Structure 1
């Protein structure tokens, strides 16, 4: 069953949260675990929009925290599918903090989550391919193969010698 390819903008989701005292650590910053929880929800919504099916988290790539988000600030999580494979989808996220009182936004972090689409029996199922449109989407799409190979190697599902995209980076 072939599915119609979709664009990244068709999966685009923005999730907004207010950082409350229960969300913070002793320094008054949003806890990393709480942010990761919110990011997982936003990414799952984007993946579900892309494939019109239930999804489960397969992996979470490196999350680097560039700037803390303070108590009372607003969190904006932008998520959209960056590449679709057979039954899995990579979702790229950008996280912004916003001080609504001082009226400024700042980047907090970026990350990639991978989701697998499920059929009614809980087994993986094919997903629509992704058609990148913008230059940023095309860059994310192309580099997704390398990120996928790295995830598979780290997860023990691929031998490093089989990672042709990664090897090509290091051949002169």
Structure 2
């Protein structure tokens, strides 16, 4: 099978897809957490339903984000300086996918048992999830804004062998 032609960002399509899906997942996880916290303190159980559906969709979408992330990382031609951050981002991404699914399953069980209540222990786990997502956002931002993965001048420098 012939190789796909790559553009100036070293991708076979116009723009990276991974960040688009990732921002969707980040927004849904943060909004789910927000709805749970506000619902807990205001006793507005309708927010628990909004929270559940947000985290449920995020738990599905994160796998698309990870798959596109793996694909686009493979095309990035990472140079030596970026490798530790990229490895951390990859490990955290796969771990986050598993943790998000586990927390979503727990959230499903909570909803099935009593949709009008939210255990404090779950809010603690959701807080941990928010911290882990924030770490992942930091690592991903660093890959683009510090190391320039899929940014045209960095792609050109890597192709010319300037970056090793």
Same fold per superposition (TM over 0.5): no
Find the structure with the greater CA-based Rg. Answer: 2
Higher share of residues assigned strand: 1
Q: Identify the structure with bigger relative contact order (alpha carbons < 8 Å, sequence gap 6+).
A: 2
Q: TM-score, normalised by structure 2?
A: 0.23
Q: TM-score, normalised by structure 1?
A: 0.23
